């Protein structure tokens, strides 16, 4: 393994691990405060117990996310000094704002965890809302930095150097809004579905458990609404990619020839040597419509671009297909859930179907599979550029040799963190109460 591949592999592994906790850190506080809001409205201790349980899980995941995020910060400087030296003056602002949001989240999470008997109920709920808002903003600012790497703006190139830098304009780059919207919805959908799957599994063992029924309803509310909206944000992002990174769009679809009325391909195996995508189901005109809103619009193919600026087509195409498939299934499950709720909400029977619960269990990991493959599409699809059209990845890597050693070291570290985190979360799930915890009534009276 050469040093460039080792550096890229280490960054990919670190991001793949951290993004799970980043997504949960965005979405879990929203579930938490919805449960507390329900408790304040109904005075049903099931919701109080649920909010407290989810708060403990949020704290565990926040701690692990802080560790993995800190490692990533160091890796940016140690592995990619060329990139940081070149673009630090631009991406420094969103990263600084992310740090501010992170510390705000930590402060209010502390108030939320230890303030149950110490602050008024509405102030406590406000603290939870601030955790949710700052967690979302933290993710948004990081994604804005990545969006700038995909659609760099806010500067001029003069003799190979960035001049006339405008950090605000850089943050408002064309990819910023669609990419942050898509990622934020993905975090809510993925977390909502995995939480729903866990509680669906528990309901299969104890069908009348009010704790799990309440948890499942809230998780599906957040995850289901996000899953239904997600294809709309994906369409917006695809249109942006078509304008700013046409070669990436061509890799998405395995589109080798430039053509008008280009088809959307379902499945298929790109053959780069032959310049064709085999075994795909083609939907005529669909790609031109999705990318440009015109069935006769011209879509550039990979053959129009030099070989040294094309991404690895097979990896990008397969990852894109998996991401889209997961998103479509989640949307259909969410629509089924909405239909069942409308039919059974009066007698609270909408969660009584064993096949519905089995489907939720099977669909639980789809959101995080979509997130992981989506980031493969984003990052591998940008190659060979670290800043699209400006700096190649090979120009940004550190000259230090032996990068395979830190790659192996950090891989072992992340495996250890994963094992500890799973163990802690399993303990939380296993301890789920059948009735509100003994101190719940005391907490309600004190509040």
Please give the pLDDT value at position 433.
58
Average pLDDT over residues 154-183: 89
- Pick left, alpha or beta for residue 293 (phi over 0 → left; psi -120 to 50 → alpha; otherwise beta): left
pLDDT in tens, 271-291: 888 888 888 898 899 999 988
**Residues of the chain with pLDDT > 70: what percent?**
95
Out of 23-32, 75-84, 106-115, 318-327, pick the least confident: 75-84
Q: What pLDDT score does 434 carry?
A: 52
- The CA distance from 43 to 443, in Å, is 11
pLDDT exceeds cutoff 60 at 439: no
In this predicted structure, the answer to whether residue 95 has a pLDDT above a threshold of 80 is yes
Reported as a single tens digit per residue, the pLDDT across 206-226 is: 878 888 888 999 999 999 999
Query: Does residue 441 carry a pLDDT above 50?
Result: no
Q: What is the pLDDT of residue 418?
A: 77
Mean pLDDT of 360-365: 94
pLDDT at site 272: 86
Name the band, by pLDDT with cuts 50, 70 and 90, for residue 244. Answer: very high
pLDDT exceeds cutoff 90 at 323 = yes
Q: What does the pLDDT look like over 398-433, one tens digit per residue?
A: 888 787 887 888 788 778 877 877 777 777 666 655
Residue 443: pLDDT over 60: no
Chain-wide mean pLDDT for the chain? 87
For residue 252, the surrounding DSSP H or E stretch is: helix 246-253
Asked if pLDDT for residue 392 goes beyond 80, the answer is yes
Q: What is the mean pLDDT of residues 329-338?
A: 94
> Look-up: residue for tokens 């049903």?
44
Partners of 162 in the beta sheet?
A: 157
- What's the whole-model pTM score? 0.89
pLDDT of res. 420: 78
Q: What mean pLDDT do residues 305-330 have?
A: 92
Residue with token string 């939380």? 428
What are residue 248's phi and psi, to 5 degrees? -70, -40
Residue 271's CB is within 10 A of a number of other CB atoms, namely 15
DSSP letter for each residue of 165-225:
--HHHHHT-TTHHHHHHHHHHHHHHHHHHHHHHHHHHHHHH-TT-HHHHHHHHHHHHHHHH
Mean pLDDT of 121-137: 92
Indicate whether 64 pLDDT > 90.
Answer: no
Q: Which of 216, 232, 233 is nearest to 182 (CA)?
A: 233
Q: 379-382: which pairs have CB atoms within 8 A and are 24 or more residues apart?
A: 379/12, 379/15, 380/311, 380/312, 380/315, 380/316, 380/319, 381/245, 381/248, 381/251, 381/252, 381/311, 381/316, 382/149, 382/150, 382/245, 382/248, 382/311
| C-alpha radius of gyration, the chain, whole number | 23
User: How confident is the model at residue 437, as a pLDDT?
Assistant: 44
Q: Identify whether the C-beta of residue 48 lies closer than 8 Å to the C-beta of residue 215.
A: no
Q: Where are the domains of the chain?
A: 3-446
Which pLDDT score is estimated for 446? 38
């Amino acid at each position: 393994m050469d040093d460039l591949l080792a550096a890229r592999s280490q960054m990919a592994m670190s991001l793949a691990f951290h993004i799970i906790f980043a997504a949960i850190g965005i979405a879990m506080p929203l579930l938490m405060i919805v449960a507390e809001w329900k408790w304040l409205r109904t005075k049903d201790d099931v919701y109080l117990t649920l909010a407290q349980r989810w708060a403990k899980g949020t704290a565990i995941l926040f701690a692990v996310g802080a560790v993995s995020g800190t490692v990533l910060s160091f890796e940016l400087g140690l592995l990619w000094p060329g990139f940081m030296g070149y673009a630090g003056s631009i991406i420094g602002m969103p990263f600084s704002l992310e740090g501010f949001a992170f510390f705000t989240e930590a402060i209010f999470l502390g108030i939320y965890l230890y303030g149950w008997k110490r602050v008024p109920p509405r102030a406590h709920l406000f603290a939870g809302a601030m955790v949710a808002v700052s967690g979302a903003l933290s993710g948004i600012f990081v994604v804005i930095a990545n969006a700038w790497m995909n659609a760099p703006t806010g500067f001029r190139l003069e003799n190979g150097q960035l001049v006339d830098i405008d950090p605000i304009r850089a943050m408002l780059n064309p990819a910023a809004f669609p990419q942050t919207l898509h990622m934020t919805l993905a975090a809510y959908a993925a977390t909502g579905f995995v939480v729903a799957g866990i509680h669906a599994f528990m309901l299969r063992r104890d069908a009348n458990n009010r704790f799990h029924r309440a948890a499942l309803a809230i998780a599906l509310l957040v995850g289901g609404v996000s899953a239904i909206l997600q294809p709309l944000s994906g369409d917006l992002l695809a249109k942006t990619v078509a304008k700013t990174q046409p070669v990436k769009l061509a890799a998405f679809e395995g589109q080798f020839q430039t053509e008008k009325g280009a088809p959307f391909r379902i499945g298929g195996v790109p053959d780069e040597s032959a310049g064709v995508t085999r075994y795909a189901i083609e939907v005529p005109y669909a790609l031109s419509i999705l990318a440009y809103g015109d069935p006769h619009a011209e879509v550039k193919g990979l053959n129009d671009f030099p070989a040294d600026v094309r991404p690895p087509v097979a990896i990008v195409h397969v990852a894109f297909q998996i991401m889209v498939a997961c998103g479509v299934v989640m949307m259909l499950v969410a629509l089924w859930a909405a239909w069942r709720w409308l039919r059974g909400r009066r007698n609270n029977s909408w969660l009584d179907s064993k096949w519905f619960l089995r489907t939720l269990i099977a669909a639980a990991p789809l959101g995080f599979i979509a997130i992981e493959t989506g980031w493969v599409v984003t990052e591998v699809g940008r190659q060979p550029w670290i800043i699209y059209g400006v700096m190649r990845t090979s120009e940004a890597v550190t000259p230090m040799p032996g990068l395979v050693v830190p790659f192996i070291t950090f891989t072992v570290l992340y495996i250890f963190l994963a094992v500890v985190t799973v163990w802690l979360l399993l303990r939380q799930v296993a301890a789920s109460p059948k009735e509100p915890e003994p101190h719940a009534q005391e907490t309600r009276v004190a509040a």
